[in-house]
Amino acid sequence: MLSILIVNWNTRELLLACLHSIFHFPPSRPFEVIVVDNASKDGSAAAVAEAFPQVELIESDKNTGYARGNNLAFSRAKGDWLLTLNPDTEVCEATLDKAVEVLGRNPGCGALGARQIGPHGDVQRSVRGFPSLRGIVGDLTGISEALPRSEFGSYQLPDFDYDTEGPAPQPMGTFLLFRRSALEAVGDPRSPFDESFPIFFNEVDLLYRMAQAGWPAMYSPAVVIRHRGGESTKQVRKSMIWESHRSLGRFFRKHYRTPLNAPLLWLLQFGLSLAAWVRAKGYDAGFRA
């Protein structure tokens, strides 16, 4: 069975279009759709209940964030294949069958990312490397574009080939198909996301843990979705800027911290906070459940 898991916050019309695409182009195998609505104020939950009664709807009494919302969905999911799908996406004909087929014939991979087509037909950059100090410096300074094959280009991956199927360190969480057995290798598949990353870097953390356990991710251009991009986070942009920078610092401290480099990581967090202050034009507390 394929479990399709969607976490929604205030994107009613996009969510309805996403669900319509799933049922218009359903997979040939048994499937279920689980929607977690994070206390939307735009009538999202009621609209889903009315238009798609076959969807399992979980209504949260508050905005729990993306990681906890996904964990709620995973706790109900029955499938051996588990797809996290953003509500601002639409699947195309054969997308869901092709995704399972591709990941199924690559038994050494634990997750799959898709080719993402933007509103104007552009192929979106949807694959990154895992964060590293040089990679972040390359991103912040623009060196990554000048030296794409160096360590400075290892985060943004400006030379990634979006026309070729193959390894992909970190496909973005917009569309991620997981193999249940891979999730079992790194913890409880009913709660795979670390909720200390409430909005950002939760899928990066999960994919990193999976890769460390021998379950790397991959990308296929044959699996195609349409993606609007960031429609929930745009509503609270200042908070999300701060949350993304803080979460990057958390990732470094969780996975790379040693007694010797701890001061350097706190210095990195200071630099990230300064960058957030500049980008957001002031301070914000970030996400609070």
Q: pLDDT by residue for the chain (289 residues), tens digit each?
A: 999 999 999 999 999 999 999 999 999 999 999 999 999 999 999 999 999 999 999 999 999 999 999 999 999 999 999 999 999 999 999 999 999 999 999 999 999 999 999 999 999 999 999 998 888 888 778 888 887 788 888 999 999 999 999 999 999 999 999 999 999 999 999 999 999 999 999 999 999 999 999 999 999 999 999 999 765 556 678 888 889 989 999 999 999 988 888 888 888 888 888 888 888 889 887 777 6
- pLDDT reported for residue 273: 86
User: Are 242 and 284 within 8 A, CB to CB?
Assistant: yes
User: What is the DSSP-derived secondary structure letter of residue 129?
Assistant: P
- pLDDT reported for residue 232: 55
User: Would you kindly state where each structural domain of the chain is located, as residue ranges?
Assistant: 2-126+162-229, 129-159, 234-280
Residue 223, number of CB atoms within 10 A of its CB? 26
In one letter, which amino acid is 92?
Answer: C
User: Are 252 and 131 within 8 A, CB to CB?
Assistant: yes
- pLDDT reported for residue 277: 86
Which has the closest alpha carbon to 246: 289, 197, 206, 288? 197
Q: Which helix (H) or strand (E) holds 99?
A: helix 95-104
User: What is the DSSP-derived secondary structure letter of residue 96?
Assistant: H
- The angle at the Cα of 18, spanning 15 to 24, to the nearest 5 degrees, equals 140
Q: Which fold has domain 2-126+162-229?
A: Spore Coat Polysaccharide Biosynthesis Protein SpsA; Chain A (3.90.550)
User: Are 127 and 172 within 8 A, CB to CB?
Assistant: yes
CA of 277: how far to CAs of 80, 124, 232, in Å?
43, 27, 21
Query: What's the pTM value of the predicted model, to 2 decimals?
Result: 0.94
- pLDDT reported for residue 233: 57
Q: What are phi and psi of 287, to 5 degrees?
A: -75, 135
Beta-carbon contacts of 229 under 8 Å, excluding residues fewer than 6 positions away, are: 88, 118, 124
Residue 191, token pair as written in the block: 């709660």
Overall residue count recorded for the chain in this entry: 289
